[in-house]
Structure 1
């Protein structure tokens, strides 16, 4: 592949590539819509073939919220059937996940009630994202959901002294560990920006700024852009932490460096390009991720690195590639540099060849170091959110989020429907 595209028209400016992205998004919607509506308010995860994955009916909060967010985007695109899926997910959030006794949203429910009743910052961040997207899509219950989760985040999770969120509580809001995590705060930053765009309330944007300043401008910068994942209660880096190998793995996770790069460009734009450190940090995180996290021989991003910078979990998950695509598109959009165009193409090439499942649909969630699909640690194809955003984000300008951009007709110059 050519290494310099200075004189070549970027892919996202080519009609054929934009149509390809929309077709990929359509394929994802079709794969997930057939398997999403479970009984008793549950949300079914597709299996490898796109059928509902056999389960006991347990539904986790991030599954419900991401489905609402994604199909709210589908509704904003005018996709028939999308509103019914949003309705299903919104009912599940309000009637099944919401804790009417203690407030907040339980991590999972089953046919008989809550299965895991802990209150997680990660899950509540996605409730805020789902509510914001549903509000922009015109869902009648989105306003109450947005107000409710905003109050919970403000009164239960937000720690003003640190400018970030606490991590988790018992059902009745008792703290039970001292862990603080960047991942939940990163997704809260995404959701806060979406809430700002949905409401115009700057308090959301101010919180997003404070989280980014703490996690990236302070900690990622101090660690040579090897973004730390795990912290103590007072937000000191905990390099020894070794938790869940999927959600809280030891070491560093290059996919999150890419994700922050994309979010920082968006935050920089929403704030009127007022903080130069945001673009600088986005560029530095992206450069470090492709230098240390990309397998130069076989392609793909390693899932985790040790503190020595070497691959620790060498499997390739789908979502770092998705975040790399979106980050490369955003950085090319604001800098015009061929470096980001090169990486945009390189990551899409890898994804199209190895991650997109042309036989059954959807994306393979994990590959081994040989780039062949693996049956674990994820069952079926559990995620629409990352792959869909990789297809849609490059189609929009960098100064607007997905839901607001679709609502205002910023996709391919559609006439605004916001007025």
Structure 2
């Protein structure tokens, strides 16, 4: 099932080549250029952008908490790199999270807000995970709100979302913390794992890492291992896989399995393995298995790109080719090249970046196409425009730094030397 690592991958990894590194940095600069000025909403928060790089809507647009928090995280990275104007973007986003997304009456953070207040007042684990990521990244750059937000979001996650009996978080509550029953999801817990590692790196507090290891053990070492290292997305409240789950929101809860998340977990478990002192032998094994299954089952061997979802018989279901699985695949391959080197991992790294260069970069307007049809034509069936810098920016920058932690940690430790 898994690819056997070798001690000598293809000569001269792309990530070590000067030209490739300059090319990646150029792509990162292009993403910063595309998003930095046009996305800033003077009334607070950030605009989602259309293909041309203009706001999709300027008349009281909705702002999702995950998008607000991701912008803080990404421009904290820009600030660490020394990109002018990034600190202002972090400050703008932190103020919006603290003063507009945060619920001063009941605690927690609203899922969506507009100019007038909460448009969707639900409290969702996915959104709260990204608040923790934003607060952690803001702490690394010394933002004055970071400590207060970090303490606040940590308390909310500990007292409202965390379920000690399972070692993971619940999914969703109403504004006044009434539980929304019947569902547990891996996506929110996966992103919380990323955020918990960032919080550990920013603070040195072990309890964050302990929770990250608990989630990974449940979802990957146990549940994904039971599924031949395919990551199940949907569960009941006892964390039993729900294979028949369907939700109309296919952006966040698509039916079946999502190979892009297998790739994302491959990187995250390797990062977790390093941060935890390389104590858990199952982690590199799982990372290799997850990556191998993604490339074997999820990659379109005829046209290229990753299918968005598969059914439980491994047949492509939603056949759109989205940008974010490509991003996660490139980042995972970089981590695997560092910790389980093999020709397969380097060949996959090159294949993914070659596909991105040929099909995902929008050479007319800038930014990346967030969605392609199965036949690789730009589309907007799931994503209305270009609303996200987070996945693509990290994909461009992760290979430029050691595969030993998050970007904020690695940039800080290396002084941003590229």
For normalisation by structure 1, the TM-score amounts to 0.96
* Alignment match, 1:16: 19
* 1:42 maps onto 2:45 in alignment: yes
* 1:220 maps onto 2:229 in alignment: no
1:261 touches 1:285 (CA, 8 Å); kept in 2?
yes
**Residue 400 (structure 1) shift:** 2.0
Q: Which consecutive unaligned segments of at least 5 residues does structure 2 have?
A: 1-5
Q: Distance in 1 between matches of 2:140 and 2:369?
A: 31
**Residue 336 (structure 1) shift:** 2.3
**Residue 6 (structure 1) shift:** 4.0
Q: Distance in 1 between matches of 2:172 and 2:20?
A: 42
Match of 1:279 among 266, 284, 297: 284
1:393 touches 1:402 (CA, 8 Å); kept in 2?
yes
Is the deviation greater in 401-410 or in 326-335? 401-410
* 1:401 maps onto 2:393 in alignment: no
* 1:387 maps onto 2:392 in alignment: yes
3-state secondary structure, aligned to 1:40: coil
Q: Distance in 2 between matches of 1:266 and 1:194?
A: 10
2:129 touches 2:192 (CA, 8 Å); kept in 1?
yes
* 1:126 maps onto 2:121 in alignment: no
2:323 touches 2:369 (CA, 8 Å); kept in 1?
yes
3-state secondary structure, aligned to 2:21: helix
**Residue 176 (structure 1) shift:** 2.0
State the Cα deviation string for residues 232-285 of structure 1 (Å, max 9, x = none).
001111111011222111100000000000001100010111100000000000
1:96 touches 1:113 (CA, 8 Å); kept in 2?
yes
Q: Which consecutive unaligned segments of at least 5 residues does structure 1 have?
A: 414-419
* 1:52 maps onto 2:58 in alignment: no
* Alignment match, 1:161: 165
- What does 1:130-209 align with in structure 2 at a 5 Å threshold? 130-209=134-213
1:102 touches 1:172 (CA, 8 Å); kept in 2?
yes
2:50 touches 2:385 (CA, 8 Å); kept in 1?
yes
Q: Distance in 2 between matches of 1:49 and 1:309?
A: 36
| RMSD of aligned residue pairs (Cα, Å) | 1.2
Q: Distance in 1 between matches of 2:255 and 2:10?
A: 42
Question: Runs of 4+ in structure 1 displaced over 6 angstroms?
Answer: none
**Residue 39 (structure 1) shift:** 3.0
* Alignment match, 2:3: none
* Alignment match, 2:365: 360
**Residue 177 (structure 1) shift:** 2.2
Match of 1:257 among 257, 262, 285: 262
* 1:80 maps onto 2:84 in alignment: yes
3-state secondary structure, aligned to 2:118: strand
Q: How many residues are treated as equivalent by the alignment?
A: 410
If asked which structure has higher relative contact order (CA below 8 Å, sep 6+), I would say 2
